[in-house]
Amino acid sequence: MKHFILSAIMLLVLSACSGVDVQTQVRSGSDTAKFATYSWLEIGDTSLTGVRMHRPDVDAWVKASVDRQLLAKGYTKVSGRQPDMIVSWVGAIEQKVKVESINHFYSSYGYGPVAASMLPGTKDDGKRREYEEGTILLNILDPESHTIFWRGRGTDLLLPDLDNDEVALYIGRLVKSILKTFPAAKK
């Protein structure tokens, strides 16, 4: 338990350093004020996604996080009857490369990078950093037409070597950031 608490605190501290990139889109003319219930979109063949992130445990964590956030906003999850909206999600992990370099302008006596490459020991060295970004895309659909009327996307840096509890916390933070602007249910 002590390890879990320390890991959670460390994850929150590290996640505070990096911001979640969130974007939302609302279809014009959409009236979410009339919605109070939702259900999850049933996906037939999940083998088509080919995304490393699509594991049963990750799927359960995302759905549980969305359920918590929608419940906090006053929505009710229903099954067996027609919901006011349908929720779906998809995730992706993308490999990124960032090259950071420092231009040693003064080492070449002001003559720029051409002169710097001629002098020994003054070459402009770049630092290459490989990392992964995780993205969760949440779609809210009309149950009759299956058209998307609200979409939220959250992207954040994936920290290496996270255990399952830390991944669940990471997903919860990402989902909370995405649904922050989603309107509350009708009263």
User: pLDDT digits over 39-69, tens only?
Assistant: 998 876 454 454 445 567 888 999 999 999 9
Provide the pairing of β-strand 148-158 with 21-26: antiparallel
pLDDT at 97: 80
Q: What does CATH list as the number for 2-98+129-179?
A: 3.30.160.670
pLDDT at 51: 47
CA–CA dist 164, 55 (Å, integer): 12
Provide the pairing of β-strand 37-40 with 85-101: parallel
pLDDT at 112: 55
Q: Give me the residue spans of the domains in the chain.
A: 2-98+129-179
Mark the ranges of the chain whose per-residue pLDDT is less than 50: 6, 11-16, 45, 47-48, 50-52, 122
pLDDT at 109: 56
pLDDT at 125: 60
Question: pTM, whole model, 2 decimals?
Answer: 0.70
